[in-house]
Structure 1
Amino acid sequence: MVNFDMNIFNNLKKLFFLLIVIISVSCSEAGDQNSETRLVTPVTVAVAELRDLSDAFTVSSEVVAYKRSYVASRISGLVEEVNFEEGEIVRNGDIMAKIDIRLQQTELRRALAVLNEAEDVYERTFTLFESGAVSRADLMTAERSLEQARSEVERLELAVEFGSVRAPISGVVTARLTEAGNNIGVNERMFTVTDMSLLVIRPGISELNLAGLIEGMEVDVMMDVYPDHAFSGTIRRIFPNMDPVSGLFTVEVELIREKEQPVVRPGFLARIRFAAYERREVVSVPSESVVERNGERFLFLLENDDENVIQIPVLVGVQRDGYAEILDGIESGVTIVATNLDGLSDGSAVRVVGTFRRHGFRN
């Protein structure tokens, strides 16, 4: 009976030690697994993309012709004929209209007769003066009469010439404000002629945006009427004084003409993109993904089927709108770690839990 009890006791003791060993091994494995889990860092990732990081702004203004001339009558009278209508092309010097000048011609003939008489009087007086028959005062009086007669003839010759209203510049007639048979006064507007060879845009720019602009700088131009066509222009001049009403400085942009370009007319609304610092199509990453330690900057790239990271040194350029330009180190299309970077080092284990999203900034 005693031997039987001892056997039971020994078996129970062996079973107890076996359970202790099993529990110890299980706890050890669980501890190792928990330790490994703690070393895997959850991260989000982003892709290095080509992005526009230019220091740019856009303003709107209408297209205007650089040259526009208002053609007005220089004499009063009856309009005899009108030779051009809106949309027609004129050249400098073309006769656009004629005004009745019969009265001026009559006065001119009378003035010519007076001039001939004044010339005869002056010649006789000069001959008498040389012989001592008349005084110098008489000669000067005859000379003044001659000059007055000449001036009157010149005035009336101009009046006759002004009867033909000529185009002051070459261009397109954009307004005709009179008809044949109308009575017209001096300096009354008759036509508007617009030179379409040079079109400009004159937006107002604030002083904060003016500093980076210089004459000759190229700009991008979009027209609301042609949303699918990109135009270009150059800064022609920057006005020196601020507009006291708007508080803005006028910047004149010349629209560059190109072959097979859609027709642009004065009055079209244009949107001009000014870029004081041009950085287009540059490799960029979220600014949060750039790590700086000990004066060096680097990124963490995924490797080993996205289970580990590799540390890559990079050269950073401009940073704008939440993104950093990468000048050297990676190319576009590379996947990088974007968040939870504090505990990472070269070779660290990671687990990708999502994709980085930028909110509140331009894309």
Structure 2
Amino acid sequence: MKSFTGWVVLGLAFSLTIFTVSCGSESQSKNVSDKDSTAAIPVEVAKASNGDISAYYSSTATLEAQDEAMVVSKVRGIVKKLHVEEGDFVDTNEILAELEDEQLELEAQRAKATMDRLLNELNRKEELFNKNLISAQEFENAKYEYEAQKSEYELAQLKIKNSKIRAPISGVISDRLIKAGNMINTDQEVFEITDFDPILAILKVPEHEMSKIKKGQQALIQVDAIKNKTFEGQVLRVSPVVDPQTGTFEVTVSVKDETKQLKPGMFGRVQIVYDTRQNALTIPKNAVISEDGINSVYVIKNNLAYRKNIRTGYANGNNIEIIEGLAPSDTVVTIGQSSLQDSAMVEIISL
């Protein structure tokens, strides 16, 4: 009986030992697995690459037309006919409107009749003068009267010509200030013409940027009114004078717009390209960590993230130039840096 009881106790002890070892092994395995899964931090990465990168001077400006003309009437009269409306494109010397010219025609005919009479009188007196039958003074007076009347006739002809109001420049009718039937006076404003080619952006640039901005440099322009479109242009003029009150100088950018979408008065954002570096090493800007004036990135090697200090150069768009600290083959963390420490284990979820 004792022997049987002993064997039972021994069996129970052996089973308990096996159960304890099994539970311990399972718990240890679970802890290792949990440790491995929490140690790898998910990150997104990108490779450093070579390419061209430019430096920009950025500013804002309200777009302006290069040429604008306020058309005025050169004679007084009633508007008989309009040939153009707002938004129409016109060429130089194209007829915009016509005034009633019947009275002007009559005045011109009367002036011509008087001129013809005085011409005959002049010819007759010239014959008499050549025969010494009249004085030189009388002949000269006849000549002056004829010349004065000839000018009157030419002026009447000019008034008839000016009764047709013409465009002084090519462009678009941006404002019509008269209607058919209106009585208008001499020098009254009747149309406004705007030349949209090219459109100008005039910038006020701080004087310390003067050494960077040169005539002919490329410029990129975006306007709030036209989304997701960039227009190209170039620096047309650079003023050599600095305004002492503002400490700025004037830069005029000419914008090409073959689509005619840009209009004077639009608010634009202008970037002037003042330098371009070719085959520069670049990475996404969101990979750079800036702390206390020091720039750094996390570089991935063997699934570990190592923090490295870098020196940056030009930045534009989504990229930034790396002058020192990285090689073209390096892979850097772009998203997830805030959770990293030096030598942290990572799991790459996007490249």
The two structures have a TM-score, normalised by structure 1, of 0.65
Aligned to 2:29: none
Letter paired with 1:150: K
Shift of 1:243: 5.6
Letter paired with 1:326: I
Unaligned runs of 5+ in 2: 1-44, 334-340, 347-351
Structure-1 separation of matches of 2:104 and 2:245: 47
Shift of 1:241: 4.3
Overall identity of the aligned pairs, in %: 23
1:241-299 deviations in Å (ceiling 9; x for gaps): 456775533322111236xx582222221110123333488325879589xxxxxxxxx
1:333 is aligned to 2:324: no
Letter paired with 2:271: R
**Secondary structure of 1:84 counterpart:** coil
Structure-2 separation of matches of 1:224 and 1:132: 84
Aligned to 1:269: 267
Letter paired with 1:283: L
Aligned to 1:99: 99
Structure-2 separation of matches of 1:65 and 1:160: 32
Structure-2 separation of matches of 1:223 and 1:280: 28
Structure-1 separation of matches of 2:160 and 2:260: 44
Q: 1:154 to 1:327 in 2, by over 3 A?
A: farther
For the 8 Å contact 1:283–1:332, the answer to whether it is kept is no
Shift of 1:111: 1.2
Q: 1:133 to 1:354 in 2, by over 3 A?
A: farther
**Secondary structure of 1:203 counterpart:** strand
For the 8 Å contact 1:54–1:275, the answer to whether it is kept is yes
CA RMSD of aligned residues (A): 4.0
Q: 1:78 to 1:331 in 2, by over 3 A?
A: same
**Secondary structure of 2:71 counterpart:** strand
Letter paired with 1:270: G
> How many pairs does the alignment contain?
282
Q: 1:276 to 1:83 in 2, by over 3 A?
A: same
Structure-1 separation of matches of 2:306 and 2:251: 54
Unaligned runs of 5+ in 1: 1-45, 291-300, 337-349, 356-363
Q: 1:352 aligns with which of 338, 343, 346?
A: 343
For the 8 Å contact 1:47–1:332, the answer to whether it is kept is no
Shift of 1:237: 1.6
The two structures have a TM-score, normalised by structure 2, of 0.67
Shift of 1:130: 1.4
Structure-1 separation of matches of 2:306 and 2:198: 61
Aligned to 1:340: none
For the 8 Å contact 2:305–2:345, the answer to whether it is kept is no
For the 8 Å contact 1:92–1:170, the answer to whether it is kept is yes
Letter paired with 1:129: F
Structure-1 separation of matches of 2:306 and 2:168: 77
Aligned to 2:349: none
Shift of 1:119: 0.8
Q: 1:327 to 1:106 in 2, by over 3 A?
A: farther
For the 8 Å contact 1:101–1:163, the answer to whether it is kept is yes
**Secondary structure of 1:257 counterpart:** coil
